[in-house]
Structure 1
Amino acid sequence: MVRAFPAFAPLPSRMTFLKFLRSVKNELILFFTPLAFLPLPLVIGTAEAECAYVIIMMAVFWCTEVLPLAITALLPALLFPLFGIMESKDVSEVAAGSCARKGRIPAHSRTSSALSISQVCMQYLKDTNLLFVGGLMVAVAVEHWNLHKRIALRVLLFVGVRPALLMLGFMGVTAFLSMWISNTATTAMMVPIVQAVLEQLNDNEAEIPQILSSEEQQVQTSDPDSKQPLQTEKQSEGQQGSVVVTFLDTAVEAAKRKEAAEKKRMCKGMTLCVCYAASIGGTATLTGTGPNLVLKGQMSQLFPENGDVINFASWFGFAFPNMILMLTLAWLWLQFVFMGFNFKKTWGCGAVKTEKDIAAYNVIREQHRLLGPMTFGEISVLGLFTLLVVMWFSRDPGFVDGWATTIFNSEAEYVTDATVAIFIAILLFVLPSKAPSFCCRSHSFDTVPPQAAGPTPRLLTWKVVQKKLPWGIVLLLGGGFALAKGSEVSGLSKWLGDQMAPLQSIPPWAIAIILCLLIATFTECTSNVATATLFLPVLASMSQSIGINPLYVMVPCTLSASFAFMLPVATPPNAIVFSYGYLKVADMARTGIVMNIIGILCITLAINTWGKAMFELDSFPVWANATGV
């Protein structure tokens, strides 16, 4: 017996090898990425090439996430001192001059670097990092006391449960909350509420009798001359009666399938609107999402003479109208895709509330009732949150002197938004969570029974902060600032900017659109903070080389870094919504690509209208010539 041997390896062996490669993918990337780009520091050997080597390696690690993002952000603290780009500790003027004489700093920046070198470890805890920490502590307090849930339920009770208005309510609440607390926490809180309401709106068992009765009524009234046409046909012609019954069953099944498809589409739209609104809402405030803070920090570092052009009030004045416009267009787009524009069905125009609507409304009301009356702690946190927002807006509004100048007679660089955030954060650890015993009618605030004598718990404890505050983002922001500083000190930023000088022939608005498309695509594959960290220093150098206001490209690209609408893995809110099983990747991709286009069009409109007036984008500012090197 002759046995034929295959020309290729058996399929199981090939599959085993591929499976093995997938299992060691991270190790291969960790090992071969540094080796693949090693010619940059070894062969070229300039400071620019060494800095580019660090940035490329970090970009690959951030995109593939073979290491935690925060750990990758620590690489500048290791590699910049080893390559001699920046020292790890603070140095004196003599040491700075020594570094310049050794040629580790380019000639064009030796003079300023000899006076003051901002070393690598100092980049990991700057003013922007403290602004982030203070703002997140207030957000943690809001979340800890369920104040965000109370606000959400009150708004939903106000808008009602008609599909269009319900979607508007979900999107409005999610966007507002994500302006102040993290997008992930907002989505995780809102999706269970959406799920509970959808379960009441999609109660199929209660609808089947109504569907059957309506179909039977249509068949029975098809012949107005006969009172009982169906019975007559069954009695006279049994075969024809069976055909009619079969037709009736087919019609009922078709109606039920159509109804089920409509409900499924509505579920997709209702859940998808939450993650989209969370991403859009986070762009409206300086502390709403990471890329905004990266822009704030990069502007302070790259252009120290900018006069605090990006602060909480100025950013809100620009980004909030853009958020409202984009949220409205997103709402209309999601309605068109998933629910259509049937005003009677989706808006309830001229329609009477059904039992399903009442049941869904009762779910929201019951959730709100379970929260109970507002406690003394909730009222205190709400008061501190309001105080924080007011102090942020009034510190340096721009058109008049703020309270920092009037009361403390200090410039904006002394009292910053971070100062306000840390002040309110400290108050959270000082003020009690229960009304003092000497306060009249203190029992009216709290429904819990009095406890034994002991220290009164504070509004926020360190244990809660340790558990809920994403400390990794602090390192991620710091790593971005270290990269930006290393790019300047090494001369890489200037070199990259010079390579982009031919872009002078392209209109600035076209450059902004192209860059926004690039970043909106890139952010689908990597962290939005990492995206902004990698691109903003390069964009700053490019704008200097071609002679346009740096804000003209940096602000739109910062917003575009938050437009991760297409993939479940692009951002945590997308992943949370996708995990509930209503959506497919294709659903999110088809809807998300239009959302990206909507976002870029809105940004283009904003930066060329009120943004141009607010930031004086028609002229090249004086502060853009002064760098932080």
Structure 2
Amino acid sequence: MLESSSSTNFVQHFVSREVSNKERLLCLFRRLRNGLVLVLTPLFFGQMLNWEGPEWKCAYCVCIIAIYWMSEVMPLAVTAMLPVVLFPLVGVLDANTTAKEYMNDTNFLFIGGLIMAAAVEKCDLHERVALSVLRCVGSEPKWIMLGFMTVTALLSSFISNTATTAMMVPIGQSVVQQLISSFQHHPTNGERGRLGCKKMATGLVLSICFAANIGGTGTATGTPSNLVMLGQLNALFPKVDGSLNYVTWIFFAYPLMLLCLGVAWATLVWFFLRDAPEKDEAVTEMLKTRYNELPRMTYAEKSVFVCFCILLSLWIFRNPGIVPGFGVFFKKGAYTDATSAMIVAFLLFILPSEKPDLATYIKKEDLKKKGCLMDWKTMQETFPWSVVLLLGGGFALAAGVKESGLSLLIGNSLSSIGHLPLWILQLLTMFIAMIITNICSNTVTASIFVPIVATLAQKAGHHPFTLMLPTTLASSFAFIFPVGTPPNAIVFGSGMVKVSDMAFVGGIISMELLVLTILYMNSIAYLTLPLLEFPSWAVIANSTMQT
């Protein structure tokens, strides 16, 4: 026995040593690859610096940043800071102008929205909303899936899709375990039923990440790529009107988001739930039990909900469009959606998280114990500062592309396809964006492609929104690879999804949503946005660039 044990230990030691050597070699290979990419990329594109015109110098910077982003040789946020270094050195923009792009109005809108989302997570209001909806969907697997997708998309419209997925996946796993447990109590179920259970489990957790990606398209702050488009819109067209703001984005995008959600649900039901077990009342009881076990709605939850309603009201009634909003009382540009977001953010740092009681505020130590709805410690722990820098880098990149004339150069080079029908241009631009967004972040994809398609639409005589909006939406349609977006990675990390399942169904849903978006852009979208006429602000910008 002793000899057998020692031989076993030797084998385990040998295997662990071999694994360790493989990890070291892999780590060494990655460092070598990153080093080569870092050094060779600027040298490879260096010839551009000798070509005449600032547009080629800007193209040199864009190529370096794009390669670094796609290869991830550095953290994305670190690469996003390169414009501050490269643009002034090569003469595209001065350092002060470049740095200002990192903290513009759109970025503060994003910051305010994230503070609101962090407050919702801090008081666990999102879990109460999720369970309150899920307990009402019934016990049949397809309706359970629809309930999960609806809740996930709704939450993802207003808070981080990563946080939403991280919260919903454990609930989904509990439901799957209950369904499988109920199945095992029925001995009449055969091999086909067990296979159906496995496919059902895969479909349910996949539906969560797909719904999180789709839900973010519904609001301007739902995903960073939407804010990239809004921020670059002002940079590319300085005289743009207010036809696209937070409210008009909801009217335009939310119906499309719901349609995309319905198509994705029907596709997932077809592929994963055809052989699923019958409805199980135990699942409904489990969800009801979890909801009933929640403590009574706290003062903090009620306060955050009121603040959330105040924020939505400020966004909606600033410029509702149907009637004059309170925004008419301010000079143009004095009050924006970012102003509303920051006002509510200040409130969250001021309002108490417990019901005020003056008797407890007499002692100094009692006063210190009373927290606020939001605090800086939570900000430090949960706030994605890297995304703020990533957004800023995209805005700086867009400003450099415009000021250097690179966007006009690209537009002229693409003018040969400008004569194609609009729906074909939308098909091409969306298809390219959807390919890139599955290997890059949606923020990076939007940062690179939005200025290009804006110029293409301008040169072709189409309203810039007709290409900018579908390209932006396509940047969020990352359904194929686990690395495409954090929700995909979270679901893949659950161990219930194979890469082949995600790639196959994700590819089909991507194509379905591409076609649906094009049909929507050429029909219903005309009811919410003035897309049929070429806007005056685009004509002015176009003529300005040509002079």
Deviation at 1:541, TM superposition (A): 1.4
Deviation at 1:413, TM superposition (A): 2.3
Which residue does 1:192 correspond to in 2? 170
Q: Distance in 1 between matches of 2:343 and 2:29?
A: 52
Q: Distance in 2 between matches of 1:198 and 1:588?
A: 18
1:462 aligns with one of 347, 351, 376: 376
Which residue does 2:10 correspond to in 1? none
Q: Distance in 1 between matches of 2:416 and 2:184?
A: 67
Task: Mark the CA change 1:68 to 1:623 in structure 2 (over 3 Å): closer, same or farther.
Answer: same
Deviation at 1:454, TM superposition (A): 2.0
Task: Mark the CA change 1:436 to 1:548 in structure 2 (over 3 Å): closer, same or farther.
Answer: same
Q: Equivalent residue of 1:24, what SS?
A: helix
CA contact (8 A) 2:429 2:453 kept: no
Which residue does 1:101 correspond to in 2? none
Within 5 Å, which residues of 2 pair with 1:441-452?
Answer: none
Give the unaligned 5+ runs of structure 2: 1-22
Q: Equivalent residue of 1:453, what SS?
A: helix
Structure 2 residue 203 is the aligned partner of structure 1 residue 269 = yes
Deviation at 1:419, TM superposition (A): 0.4
Which residue does 2:92 correspond to in 1? 85
Deviation at 1:411, TM superposition (A): 4.5
Task: Mark the CA change 1:575 to 1:451 in structure 2 (over 3 Å): closer, same or farther.
Answer: farther
Superposed CA deviations along residues 25-54 of structure 1, whole A, max 9, x for unmatched, are 11111111111111111x315311110010
Task: Mark the CA change 1:32 to 1:265 in structure 2 (over 3 Å): closer, same or farther.
Answer: same
Superposed CA deviations along residues 284-306 of structure 1, whole A, max 9, x for unmatched, are 00000011000110111111222
1:310 aligns with one of 217, 240, 244: 244
Corresponding pairs, count: 520
Deviation at 1:438, TM superposition (A): 5.4
Structure 2 residue 413 is the aligned partner of structure 1 residue 490 = no
Q: Distance in 2 between matches of 1:546 and 1:509?
A: 13
Which residue does 1:300 correspond to in 2? 234
CA contact (8 A) 1:395 1:402 kept: yes
Letter in 2 for 1:36: F
Within 5 Å, which residues of 2 pair with 1:252-267?
Answer: 255-267=189-201
Greater displacement, 453-462 / 323-332? 453-462
Task: Mark the CA change 1:460 to 1:21 in structure 2 (over 3 Å): closer, same or farther.
Answer: closer
Q: Distance in 2 between matches of 1:82 and 1:163?
A: 59
Q: Distance in 2 between matches of 1:478 and 1:337?
A: 40
Superposed CA deviations along residues 46-68 of structure 1, whole A, max 9, x for unmatched, are 31111001000110111111111
- The structure with the largest helix share of the pair is 2
1:432 aligns with one of 332, 349, 352: 352
Which residue does 2:180 correspond to in 1? 202
Which residue does 1:100 correspond to in 2? none
Superposed CA deviations along residues 387-436 of structure 1, whole A, max 9, x for unmatched, are 1112111111122211221xxx1245221100000000000011111111
Letter in 1 for 2:367: G
Deviation at 1:364, TM superposition (A): 1.9
Letter in 2 for 1:430: I
1:403 aligns with one of 326, 345, 363: 326
TM-align CA RMSD: 2.3
Which residue does 2:18 correspond to in 1? none
- TM-score (structure 2 length as normaliser): 0.91
1:388 aligns with one of 286, 302, 311: 311
CA contact (8 A) 1:308 1:413 kept: no
Q: Distance in 1 between matches of 2:389 and 2:272?
A: 40
Letter in 1 for 2:427: I
Give the unaligned 5+ runs of structure 1: 1-14, 90-118, 215-254, 349-356, 443-449
Structure 2 residue 329 is the aligned partner of structure 1 residue 416 = no
Deviation at 1:19, TM superposition (A): 8.3
Q: Distance in 1 between matches of 2:293 and 2:72?
A: 41
Q: Distance in 1 between matches of 2:287 and 2:500?
A: 31
Superposed CA deviations along residues 427-450 of structure 1, whole A, max 9, x for unmatched, are 0011111111259xx9xxxxxxx9
CA contact (8 A) 2:84 2:98 kept: yes
CA contact (8 A) 1:532 1:558 kept: yes
Deviation at 1:276, TM superposition (A): 0.3
Deviation at 1:540, TM superposition (A): 1.4
CA contact (8 A) 1:127 1:418 kept: yes
Q: Distance in 2 between matches of 1:76 and 1:176?
A: 35
- Which structure's CA Rg is the greater one? 1
Structure 2 residue 263 is the aligned partner of structure 1 residue 329 = yes
Q: Distance in 2 between matches of 1:182 and 1:17?
A: 36
**Displacement over 6 Å in runs of 4+:** 15-19
Task: Mark the CA change 1:263 to 1:130 in structure 2 (over 3 Å): closer, same or farther.
Answer: same
Task: Mark the CA change 1:410 to 1:596 in structure 2 (over 3 Å): closer, same or farther.
Answer: same
Deviation at 1:561, TM superposition (A): 0.3
2:272 aligns with one of 330, 338, 345: 338
CA contact (8 A) 2:57 2:91 kept: no
Letter in 1 for 2:350: V
Task: Mark the CA change 1:501 to 1:583 in structure 2 (over 3 Å): closer, same or farther.
Answer: same
Q: Distance in 2 between matches of 1:402 and 1:325?
A: 30
Which residue does 1:75 correspond to in 2? 82
CA contact (8 A) 2:437 2:475 kept: yes
Greater displacement, 411-420 / 588-597? 411-420
Which residue does 1:63 correspond to in 2? 70
Structure 2 residue 4 is the aligned partner of structure 1 residue 26 = no
Superposed CA deviations along residues 514-535 of structure 1, whole A, max 9, x for unmatched, are 1111111110010100000001
Task: Mark the CA change 1:457 to 1:47 in structure 2 (over 3 Å): closer, same or farther.
Answer: same
Which residue does 1:97 correspond to in 2? none
Q: Distance in 2 between matches of 1:44 and 1:548?
A: 31
Letter in 1 for 2:344: I
Which residue does 2:113 correspond to in 1? 135
CA contact (8 A) 1:513 1:604 kept: yes
Q: Equivalent residue of 2:481, what SS?
A: coil
Which residue does 1:227 correspond to in 2? none
Structure 2 residue 391 is the aligned partner of structure 1 residue 477 = yes
Structure 2 residue 512 is the aligned partner of structure 1 residue 578 = no
Q: Distance in 1 between matches of 2:526 and 2:508?
A: 26
